[in-house]
Structure 1
Amino acid sequence: MKYENIVKANFIERPNRFVAIVSIEGESVRVHVKNTGRCRELLVPGAAVYLEDFVGRMGSRKMRYSLIAVEKGGLLVNMDSQAPNKIAAEGLLSGRIELPDMSRLAGVKAEQKYGNSRFDFYIEDEGGHKGWLEVKGVTLEDGGVASFPDAPTERGLKHVNELRRAKSEGFMCYVLFIVQMKGMRWLEPNDDHDPDFSDALRKADEEGVHVIAWDCLVEPDEIVADEQVSVKL
């Protein structure tokens, strides 16, 4: 996916989940943060950040800029929480992201209801197999190891347990982690931040839910799925 009109700035502070204050050529500006997660290891004072400038296409927006990416050491990390689903859709429809035990997809429908949940995608392949896929964006890394989540996620836990139920009913089921950076050695569940989610993910894997991860090529104005990353549960 592509962004338009990218501006480089420096992070100053984050007064709340939705707003950051950055410096653009020495001027302090309030910008929208496209990720409500903590991101404390990313948004540190002085960090170089990248903003999408909506000048000329504001519509109902209140702030001109949205913060979409940040430099962390030698990494460029996309932290747009809306990006993973778009990346997944592009990868699934193009055939770049392949799913174990399914042939080429013949149908991909977003935001479909199952039980008490709404999964990111309902999928069907050319062989007639039907399944459900939930996408999780990953921005947390330490020493080249990506992990999820960066904070407790009741919603994520609910989705994993619903996928376990769907699998027991004969559907093909997947948790797809979109790692919003490049160069990770592997992905693992974050036991320290959410042991309940981690335990449920391991149980899902044991019950036949496929847990897969793909990294991304990240540029200030673009992010696309690149290669599969090993998952260590």
Structure 2
Amino acid sequence: MQFAPPLESGILVRRYKRFLADIRLADGTEITLHCPNTGSMKNCQFPGERVWFSTSDNPKRKYAHTWELMQTPSGELIGINTGRANALATEAIEAGVIPELQGYERLRREVKYGDENSRIDILLSNQGKPDCYVEVKSCTLLEGDRGYFPDAVTSRGQKHLRELMQMVAQGHRAVLLFVVQHTGIDTVQAATHIDPDYTLLMAQAVNAGVEVLAYKAILSPSGASLTEACRVFI
């Protein structure tokens, strides 16, 4: 994934009202960015550190700029735009980067499924074999030397686990794919200290046959891509 046009940068002043962030440009001007992240962004926002943002030419947008990357005080990069996770996963599957998800002829995105009115992020299909339902989650929370998901209680995430288990029960394949958008994260596990119910459901899902994968992204102001698997602790 290449950022086009190239990302611009500034210094984070503050994030507020969940979807807004103010930054200071090199000339001292302050602008407001759209923050495309519905999570708590725990350990992902560092006032005084550099951020990178994209710019839209859509005249109907109230905020033309979108927050894309955050630099940590130690120099790591974090992908703030959770909407990029699905695109990164799709690109990686199509490029053969994720061997566990190869061998399918068709890839569809945002397909309705399940009893709880969900949409699967990626549906892989091939004549003569079970469909593969892939739920994509962006992992950005680093605590100590471990990556965690979720960074806040997620009833939506719990619903997705139940839907995946239902697909397995119906004879399909189901995969929970963590897209690691933090260059400092090398392992992923459920955040029991944040959402214990999600941890329990994730363990139930694994026991029911849901597969769990994690792949790490290389991030830079010029682009991003998934490159290698990360270890998942269940």
- Which TM bucket (shorter chain)? over 0.9
| Distance in 1 separating the partners of 2:13 and 2:185 | 27
Question: Contact 1:164 / 1:209 at 8 angstroms: preserved in 2?
Answer: yes
Q: What's the offset of the Cα at 1:92?
A: 1.3
Q: Taking structure 2 as the reference length, what is the TM-score of the superposition?
A: 0.92
Shift of 1:124: 1.7
* Residue 45 (structure 2) pairs with residue 46 (structure 1): no
Contact conserved, 1:103 with 1:125, CA < 8 A, in 2? no
Spell out the pairing of 1:1-233 with structure 2 (5 A cutoff). Answer: 1-3=1-3, 4-25=5-26, 26-54=28-56, 57-72=57-72, 73-99=74-100, 103-115=102-114, 116=116, 117-125=118-126, 128-233=129-234
- Cα distance 1:133–1:180, how it changes in 2: closer, same or farther (>3 A)? same
Q: Distance in 1 between matches of 2:36 and 2:131?
A: 32
Structure 2 gaps of 5+ residues are none
What TM-score, normalized by structure 1, do the two folds share?
0.93
Contact in 2 for aligned 1:87/1:223 (Cα 8 Å): yes
Contact 1:51/1:68 (CA < 8 Å) preserved in 2?
Answer: yes
From the superposition, tell whether residues 47 and 126 of structure 1 become closer, same or farther in structure 2 (CA, over 3 Å).
farther
Change (3 A) 1:63 1:211: same
Distance 2:140 2:126 in 1: 30
Deviation at 1:205, TM superposition (A): 0.8
Structure 1 stretches (4+) deviating beyond 3 angstroms? Answer: none
1:49 counterpart letter in structure 2: V
Paired residues in the alignment total 229
Q: Percent identity?
A: 28
RMSD over aligned Cα atoms = 1.6
Q: Secondary structure at the residue paired with 1:231?
A: strand
Gaps (5+ residues) in structure 1? none
* Displacement of 1:188: 0.5
Cα distance in 1 for residues equivalent to 2:88 and 2:186: 20
